[in-house]
Structures are given as C-alpha cells and as structure tokens.
C-alpha cells in the first residue's frame, strides 16, 4: 500500500482483503501490559503515543482501500488469532483452509 501509511500489514491475505497487524505490548502500548518505564518516562510515553498514532493512520489507510484490518497483541494465543482470521475470511466468502483441515494447533 502506498498512500503514506507508516506501516504495512504484518500478514496480508489479498484474496480476502484482510490485513493482519500484530502489535507489540511494549512498543504499541498494550492496555493490559503497558507500564511506565523506569527511565526517560516522558520520552517513552511520547514515543509510544507516536507509535499508536501511526498504527491508527495505517489502520485507517487499509480501511480506505477496502481491506478488513485485524489487529492483535503479541500476548494473544496464536490459535485464537488464526481462528479469528479464518472466521473473518470465511464470512467474506474466502475459505483459507480445506474442510479436512479442522484443527488449529500452535506450538
């Protein structure tokens, strides 16, 4: 995507127009895990806020292009993330797995 977005999707599924973004708990300010840093607190707070603003710009840019944006946090269970992506893709009429691939397992 070339419309000024500072970030591309981490995983792109063009057939279903799904952009998957996996956010870092530290760098993107996870609401469950973000804590004030012990040093340079103001600088880090500004940096994380800047990252969050960039995430929003990128998400909105993908949406303007007609893509479904799926945002996950690094702490989320991989099998839950995959399941959600598959459900979204299936709902859009793009089956990513065959009917014989019924179990999702993360190692």
pLDDT at residue 9, as a whole number: 77
pLDDT tens-digit profile of 11-41? 888 889 999 999 999 999 999 988 888 899 9
* Mean pLDDT calculated for residue range 49-73: 92
Q: Which two tokens stand for residue 50?
A: 């800047």
SS3 72: strand
* Mean pLDDT calculated for residue range 1-19: 74
Partners of residue 11 on adjacent β-strands: 20
pLDDT at residue 107, as a whole number: 44
- Provide the pairing of β-strand 68-73 with 18-23: parallel
Phi and psi dihedrals of 22, rounded to 5?
Answer: -110, 110
* Mean pLDDT calculated for residue range 36-53: 91
Chain-centroid distance of CA 106 in Å reads 18
């Amino acid at each position: 995507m070339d419309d000024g977005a500072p970030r591309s999707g981490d995983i792109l599924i063009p057939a279903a127009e799904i952009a998957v973004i996996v956010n870092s708990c530290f760098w993107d300010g996870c609401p469950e895990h973000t804590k004030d840093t012990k040093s340079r607190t103001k600088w880090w707070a500004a940096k994380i806020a800047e990252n969050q603003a960039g995430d929003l710009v990128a998400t909105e840019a993908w949406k303007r292009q007609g893509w479904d944006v799926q945002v996950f946090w690094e702490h989320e269970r991989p099998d839950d993330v995959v399941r959600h992506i598959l459900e979204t893709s299936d709902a859009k009429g793009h089956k990513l797995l065959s009917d014989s691939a019924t179990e999702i397992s993360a190692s």
